[in-house]
Amino acid sequence: MRATAPILVATHELCGGHEPPPGHPERPERLRAAIAGAAVAGAEALPVPLDEAAVLAALARVHAPGFAGRLQRACEHPPGIFNSEDNPISRGTYSAALAAAASAIAAAGAAAASAAATVWVPVRPPGHHALRDRAMGFCFFNNAAVAAEELLARGCGPVAIVDFDVHHGNGTQAHFWERDDVYVLSLHRYPFFPGTGAGDEVGAGKGRGFTRNFPLASGAGDEIYGEALAAGLDELAAVFEPSSWVVSAGFDAHRQDPLGGMNVSDEGFGTIGRLLRDAAGKSPLVAVLEGGYDPKALQRSVRTFITGVAGSVGP
C-alpha cells in the first residue's frame, strides 16, 4: 500500500508587503490565493526564519555583490522603479523579496532533511526572470535558483529545475548556463517576453546539453503542455539523474490569465503535477510560485497542481 507524501508549505507574511501601484498584475491578492490553494489534506506550515545575514549569504551564490543592498536602499525612498519599468517598488518590496528567498531556503532545507517529499513555496515577488545583477519581469531575487543552490550546498545534487511558467525563466537559465550539476527544463510561450527560450538554447561549455527549452505557440492547452512536459522529462531522464527537484511553478498559462495567452485548464495543472511526481519518484521536490495573475484561477490551479505533485511515494 502506498502512503501519501507529506506536504509542507513555506511562506512568510512579509511577502505581502510588496505593493505595486493599483492595477499592476503582481498584487498581494496573488499570495493569498496561492496559499489558499494549498489548503489540501495533509498540508502543514513550515516555519520560515528570517535571518537577514543568512539570506544574504545564500543570495550571494546567485546575485552580484551589492545587488541586494542596492534594492534595499532604493526601497527606502519609494515609490519608484528598480532596474526595469516592470519592477515598481514600495517601502515593503525589499523585505518581501528577502522573505521570499528565505522561504525558498527553508523549503530546500526541509527537503534536504527529508522532512517532506513536496514543499510548496507560495511567495511573491516571483523570481525566475531575475538576473545576476538586474531585476526584471516583476522579479527581484531568483528564488528558484536560490533553492537549487541551497540543495546543492546541502549535498542534495544534482538538481533538476523544471519551469512551466508561460514566460521563459531567463534568469534561471543564465545562472546555470555553463553548469552540469543542474539541468534546466522549460516549457513556455515563444516568441514572448522576455524573448529568450528558443529550442536551440542548450547551454554552453560543460553545461552544453543541460538546458532544454520547449517553445510553445500561443493558445497551447492541456494536451500540448502534457505532451511537451512528458517529452522533456524523458529527455532529462536519459542524460541526468537528479537527487532533488526545483519547480518554477507559474500558472499564467491558465486560460483565464490576463497576461498569458494560453489555454491550460485547472485540470491541466494537475496533470503537470502528476507528471513531475512520477519523474521525481521518491526524490524531494520544492515548487516555488512564479506567475499567475487571475487570483481565482490561481487558487484552483494551485490546488490541482499540489494534489498532483504530492501524489504518493514509497511502499
Helices (H) and strands (E) in the chain, counts: 9, 12
Give kind and range of the element (H or E) at residue 110.
helix 93-112
CA distance 212 to 273: 19
141 burial via Cβ count (<10 Å: 0-12, 13-18, 19+): buried
DSSP code of residue 20: P
Task: Please give the Cα distance from 283 to 207 (Å, whole number).
Answer: 23
Whole-angstrom distance, CA of residue 257 vs CA of residue 235: 29
CB 58 within 8 A of CB 146: yes
Please indicate whether residue 24 is annotated as part of the active site: no
* Residue tagged active-site, from 12, 18, 129, 168: 129
- Please identify every residue annotated as catalytic: 129
